[in-house]
Amino acid sequence: MPARERILDAAYDLFSRRGIRAVGIDTIVEQSGVARMTLYRHFASKDALVLAFLERREQRWTKDWLQRAVEQRASDPGERLLAIFDVFDEWFRQTDFEGCAFINVLLEIGDPTHVLHHASAEYLARIRTFVARGRRGRSRRVRAAVAHFDEGVDRGRGRGRPGGCETGTAHGSTPAARRDARSVADALKPPAFGRGGGCMRR
């Protein structure tokens, strides 16, 4: 495996499990098995390595796992909103649950002008876009209900709880969050079918 990939693989594992501040360059060098000079040849600074980690996290976690899992479960916008909570519920229950890397970085880098803070916020914004897809042109009720995701992120940051994750659902609060999603799903149904039918999911 090329040296750059070994470095990034080691950083991905360490940053995901321990956070970025708790992991030093020496630890990454040791786990990757490359020389320090080799690491700096590929990544000019630790910040550059963290940026590469965040980029890979979006590809592996957001695109390859979250979006794919949701899209495989449902095609209807309302059902996808419910599927998001189902996917997160399963993730929260995993024994190796490690929290949201993007929010973790926001919590560790409090300065909003810092490049890592800005990058993490951008990745979170893309997740919000995915969550809120189909919201445009909908009712005020839909916009308000989908805002649950954004508000939850802010609450998680304010409490310093990295486990809050992208949708703002704290570990263990998925049932309550799913009730919010149901209101969105019902509102997203076409008017002819949106009365009395409720939500298809239990």
pLDDT of residue 4: 97
In angstroms, rounded to a whole number, what is the distance separating the alpha carbons of residues 84 and 74? 10
Domain ranges of the chain: 74-193
155 near 168, Cβ under 8 Å? yes
How far apart are alpha carbons 118 and 110 in whole angstroms?
10
Alpha-carbon distance of 180 to 161, in angstroms, equals 21
What is the band of 5 on the pLDDT scale with cuts at 50, 70, 90? very high
- CA neighbor of 57 nearest in space, from 116, 101, 122, 119: 101
Summarize pLDDT for 142-186 with one digit per residue, the tens.
Answer: 555 556 555 555 544 444 443 334 444 444 445 555 555 555 455
User: Mind listing the pLDDT tens digit for each residue in 16-49?
Assistant: 999 999 999 999 999 999 999 999 999 999 999 9
Average pLDDT over every residue of 106-128:
92
pTM of the model: 0.72
> pLDDT averaged over the chain?
76
Among the listed residues 176, 177, 173, 200, the one whose alpha carbon sits nearest the alpha carbon of residue 188 = 200
Given this model, what pLDDT does residue 147 score?
A: 60
Residue type, 70: V
Structure token pair of residue 108? 């560790």
Is residue 123 scored above 80 in pLDDT?
yes
